[in-house]
Chain A
Amino acid sequence: KQKVLAAPSTRRLARELGVELSEVKGTGDHGRVTDEDVRRHLETLHT
């Protein structure tokens, strides 16, 4: 099944920030991961 629902630019952002997309909780429709979700996840990693 589809790994993670996220736009190409969001997938690239996650890579640039060193975030593993599959570990991010998506808040969009059907668990879609947004740029905000990626950034929020990064903050939780650093706190």
Chain B
Amino acid sequence: MVVGDLAQEVDVLVIGAGPGGYVAAIRAAQLGKNVTIVDKGALGGVCLNRGCIPSKAMISAAERYTHIKEASDVGIEVSGDVKVNMPKLVEWKNGVVKKLTGGVKSLLKGNKVEIVSGEAYFSGPNSVRVSNDESAQTYKFNDVIIATGSRPAELKVLPFDGKRILSSTDALNLQEVPERLVVVGGGYIGLELGTAYAKLGAEVTILEGTKSLLPGTDPSLTKMVTRKLKKLGVTVVTEAMVQGGEVNGDEVTVRASVKGEEKTYTGDYCLVSVGRTPNTDELGLDIAGVELDERGFIKIDNQCRTNVDHIYAIGDCAGGALLAHKASYEAKVAAEVISGQNSVIDYQAMPFVIFSDPEIAYTGLTESEAKEEGYDPVVSRFAFQANGRALSMNAADGFVQVVADKETKQLLGVQIVGPEASTLIAEAVFAIEMGANAEDLALTIHAHPTLPETLMEAAEGVFGNAIHMVNKR
């Protein structure tokens, strides 16, 4: 018998160290469980290594470059060349990532979580075999949390080659700014990276299959973004169905049928961002008896439990909104349930954020969703043009919109497009969680001059008494 055949026994095994997995491991350890976490790659998962963090670092760098180029608008004259050093930019971004993944490692260690590197495969409902280049080891567990995340979905007609046909991961590591970049897919990932590269100097074309950018997002929010894209020189082609493409030397040509017409688009690179696929296909889930839905996501109940009692799933692999904060939230629920607490997935408002230009953020119900749910909604919109801070930042495009119930004035949803929308949405999420009404928001003193004042004023607008706009009567 080989040594590796002796199974190690653990309390809780967590598969995957992304924002779901590592948070689950820490919370379970906080509650006194003996926890082992397995990951085949770097700690921090997609979010830290090739998602949220690196993309936001690139977006920030691109924005800074734009600010320098446009500094003369506010009377700052920059003489000499302002250049983008892409290898240095990528190196800086990698440094940010390294700092954070290092942080995850010390948090896991500080909580006495055992870290194992390797690929996990179920060998039964209570055991997993973890293998890496050097060895293989079987782990027996009482409970397991599956947090294997997702990966970029591939287009069959335009498969990734990692050189010219790029996934979002590849696009975050380019050593040069493309002269021309074709983006297939106008969802938030394509839009965010496309905008960043456009700001860094690329001529960007976005091909979107549906009728508008950001399908699923309120069109009133995307209108402002589309206008800015045009200003940036980005070409947006909607109703473009990609048929295929060819790489010829240093170029890639994408063929698409646009409203029935055959067209071609050529770039130095093509980024394919058409969605994400759950990592549930190479885990041996059938051996464990875990059920998937028709799209390959693991089915869970409101306590993150799969159809097998002691097997839990969280984050992207369990479907729903593929968001890091949703994964981390579920992680705590799963870890607490395993530790004997009666936690459930129970939230009133999920924040959605898109780091477009300007940023989009929303939570709760839109006006039409509120109507569908039987409310009689009132909508109040306040423009950043009327906010002193936004004007002083030279970033006054956009608005804050509050949706409230007409009778009780209860806050139902908030939609924002504008500067720091990603930050502003937090107050709205909290207000909705607390069951606040528009008056509660209006009666809260907001510091002046700050962007959050727009929320207070939009809330006052619900009663027709906002100060810095003429109210509709």
Contacts and interface: CB of A to CB of B under 8 A. Distances in A.
A16 B373 contact: no
Interface in A1-16: 1-2, 5-8, 11-12, 15-16
A32 to B, nearest CB: 6
Contacts, number: 32
Contacts of B95: none
A7 B434 contact: yes
B373 to A, nearest CB: 6
Given A15-B344, A16-B342, A30 B434 contact: no
Nearest to B440: A29
A1 B412 CA distance: 10
B161 interface: no
A18 B412 CA distance: 27
B459 to A, nearest CB: 16
Given A15-B342, A15-B343, A5 B435 contact: yes
A5 B410 contact: yes
B433 A1 contact: no
A3 B403 CA distance: 18
A6 B435 contact: yes
Interface residues of B, number: 17
B133 interface: no
Nearest to B346: A11
Give the size range of A's interface with the partner. 10 to 19
B433 A7 contact: yes
A7 B437 CA distance: 13
Contacts of A7: 433-435
Contacts of B375: 1
Interface string A20-41: 0000000001101000000000
A15 B341 CA distance: 9
B interface SS class: loop
Contacts of B435: 2, 5-7, 32
B408 interface: yes
Contacts of B343: 12, 15
B346 A30 contact: no
B408 A30 contact: yes
B374 interface: yes
Contacts of B341: 16
A30 B410 contact: yes
B346 A1 contact: no
B226 to A, nearest CB: 33
Contacts of B408: 30
Contact of B374 (A1, A8, A11, A12): A1
A14 to B, nearest CB: 10
Nearest to A17: B342
Residue among A2, A7, A11, A30 facing the most chain B CB atoms (10 A cut-off): A2
Contacts of B373: 1
Contacts of B342: 15-16, 18
Nearest to B434: A7
B181 to A, nearest CB: 43
Contacts of A8: 346-347, 433-434
Nearest to A2: B410
30 contacts: A1-B373, A1-B374, A1-B375, A2-B348, A2-B410, A2-B412, A5-B410, A5-B435, A6-B435, A7-B433, A7-B434, A7-B435, A8-B346, A8-B347, A8-B433, A8-B434, A11-B346, A12-B343, A12-B346, A15-B342, A15-B343, A15-B344, A15-B346, A16-B341, A16-B342, A18-B342, A29-B437, A30-B408, A30-B437, A32-B435
Interface of A: 1-2, 5-8, 11-12, 15-16, 18, 29-30, 32
Q: Which 6 A-B pairs have the closest CB atoms?
A: A5-B435, A15-B342, A30-B408, A7-B434, A8-B433, A1-B374
